[in-house]
């Protein structure tokens, strides 16, 4: 065998690593800013698993030399592109004791049947609090069993076994003026005598821009269209974080359909100060939305101010194009002072 075929196999093997690294970087740097990367951020990333095949010719002839590029390509695709995670809490790292609260977030896709079904299963799932997005306006369909309190606003339904202390809804008037659709609300509940804030939201979908990628005739104006959609999504997150800002003394949870994956620049810009429950305590890819051909993790449970996720998992498929996200949360007990009263 001449050196040339060997060299070609070696270069082919490392091409898979380089391409995977560039795509992982492009997701984080250009996903919301450069329109050609937009379909990778929101599209079928499983296509990139073919990059793991590039080191195979070298593996057949030089298995020891092929192991490094094969491993690197596999890790870059699995972790950097597909979003595979093993949260440190799953490994027993950083676990904290505190008051336990189990929260479920679910986009029921405007289905009264699905919403009614999940409301009836909350007790069997051991859930304390549920945030339902795209909840039917007929809230009577969503009434849970006895012992639960409920609030609703627009397309958000909030159900709690804990007493609800306060309920606020952000006006959508300014969002509608920019052709956005963000629904944002906040509840405060009593957890073992301590107030806990729970923000809930449903942000704008990038679907309008993604549809344009099907038509080559739209390519000349596609960049401007993607930029306009991204600008609305950015503004929605900015105003949602401002509305949900709470004092550091109040434990805070934010749950909902963000319609964006964690690699998004917009997501990292406005939500990176929170701890992502799946990143910390999940295992696997954790897709929360599915089409016929692929899935994405766009529903999130975030925590701040003394709340940590101890375990996060994906719930059962009940008929929506989303699936529930469930997180077991630990809330730090408030510190007591010895000052005079």
**pLDDT, position 272:** 94
Find the mean pLDDT for residues 193-212: 93
Find the mean pLDDT for residues 288-302: 95
127 shares its domain with 15:
no
Q: Is the pLDDT of residue 302 over 90?
A: yes
pLDDT, tens only, 99-156 = 999 999 999 987 878 888 888 888 889 999 999 999 876 566 677 778 899 998 888 9
205 shares its domain with 104:
yes
Exposure string for 279-315, b = 16+ CB within 10 A, e = fewer = bbbbbebbbbbeeeeebbbbbbbbbbbbbbbbbbbbb
Q: List the domain range (segments joined by +) for residue 57.
A: 3-81
Is residue 341 in a domain?
no
Torsion over CA: 244, 167, 229, 231 (sign):
negative
202 shares its domain with 128:
yes
Q: Is the pLDDT of residue 232 over 50?
A: yes
68 shares its domain with 171:
no
**pLDDT, position 61:** 81
**pLDDT, position 333:** 79
- Largest Cα–Cα separation, the chain: 87
75 shares its domain with 158:
no
**pLDDT, position 95:** 65
196 shares its domain with 321:
yes
pLDDT, tens only, 41-63 = 999 999 999 998 888 887 778 87
57 shares its domain with 182:
no
Which contiguous run of DSSP H or E holds residue 152?
Answer: strand 149-153
Instruction: Give dist(CA 113, CA 137) in Å, integer.
Output: 13
What band does 169 get if pLDDT is binned at 50, 70 and 90? very high
**pLDDT, position 340:** 39
**pLDDT, position 136:** 78
What band does 337 get if pLDDT is binned at 50, 70 and 90? very low
146 shares its domain with 225:
yes
More confident residue, 208 or 96: 208
Instruction: Give dist(CA 157, CA 176) in Å, integer.
Output: 20
98 shares its domain with 212:
yes
Is residue 39 in a domain?
yes
What band does 3 get if pLDDT is binned at 50, 70 and 90? low
Average predicted confidence (pLDDT) for the chain = 89
Q: What is the 3-state secondary structure (H, E, C) of 316-338?
A: CCCCCCECCEEEEEEECCCCCCC
**pLDDT, position 181:** 86
**pLDDT, position 59:** 78
**pLDDT, position 105:** 97
**pLDDT, position 154:** 82
What band does 330 get if pLDDT is binned at 50, 70 and 90? very high
Q: What CATH number is associated with residue 280?
A: 3.60.10.10
**pLDDT, position 33:** 83
Q: Which of 41, 56, 81 is the last residue of a domain?
A: 81
**pLDDT, position 339:** 45
Number of domains in the chain: 2
Instruction: Give dist(CA 93, CA 89) in Å, integer.
Output: 5
pLDDT, tens only, 95-106 = 667 899 999 999
Q: Which of 81, 116, 137 is the last residue of a domain?
A: 81
116 shares its domain with 218:
yes
Q: Do 319 and 114 meet the contact criterion of CB atoms below 8 Å apart?
A: yes
């Amino acid at each position: 065998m001449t050196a040339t075929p060997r060299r070609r196999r070696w270069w082919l093997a490392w091409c898979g690593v380089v391409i995977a690294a560039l795509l992982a970087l492009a997701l984080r740097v250009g996903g919301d800013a450069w329109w050609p990367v937009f379909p990778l951020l929101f599209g079928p990333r499983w296509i990139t698993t073919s990059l793991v095949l590039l080191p195979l010719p070298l593996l057949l002839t030089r298995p020891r030399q092929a192991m490094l590029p094969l491993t690197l390509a596999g890790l870059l695709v699995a972790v950097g592109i597909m979003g595979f995670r093993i949260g440190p809490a799953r490994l027993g790292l950083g676990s904290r004791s505190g008051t336990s609260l189990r929260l479920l977030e679910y986009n029921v896709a405007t289905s009264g049947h699905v919403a009614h079904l999940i409301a009836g299963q909350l007790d069997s799932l051991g859930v304390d609090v549920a945030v339902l997005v795209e909840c039917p306006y007929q809230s009577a369909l969503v009434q849970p069993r006895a012992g639960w309190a409920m609030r609703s606003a627009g397309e958000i339904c909030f159900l709690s076994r804990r007493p609800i202390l306060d309920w606020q809804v952000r006006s959508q008037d300014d969002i509608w003026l920019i052709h956005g659709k963000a629904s944002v609300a906040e509840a405060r509940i009593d957890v073992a005598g301590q107030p806990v804030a729970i923000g809930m939201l449903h942000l704008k979908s990038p679907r309008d821009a993604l549809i344009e990628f099907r038509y080559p005739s739209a390519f000349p104006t596609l960049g401007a269209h993607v930029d306009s959609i991204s600008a609305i999504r950015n503004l929605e997150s900015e105003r949602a974080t401002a509305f949900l800002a709470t004092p550091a003394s109040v434990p805070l949870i934010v749950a909902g359909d963000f319609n964006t994956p964690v690699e998004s620049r917009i997501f990292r810009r406005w939500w990176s100060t929170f701890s992502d429950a799946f990143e910390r305590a999940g295992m696997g890819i954790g897709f929360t939305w599915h089409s016929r051909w692929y899935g994405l993790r766009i529903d999130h449970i975030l925590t701040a101010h003394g709340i940590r996720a101890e375990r996060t998992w994906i719930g059962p498929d009940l008929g929506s194009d989303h699936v529930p996200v469930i997180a077991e949360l630990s809330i730090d007990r408030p510190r007591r002072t010895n000052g005079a009263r």
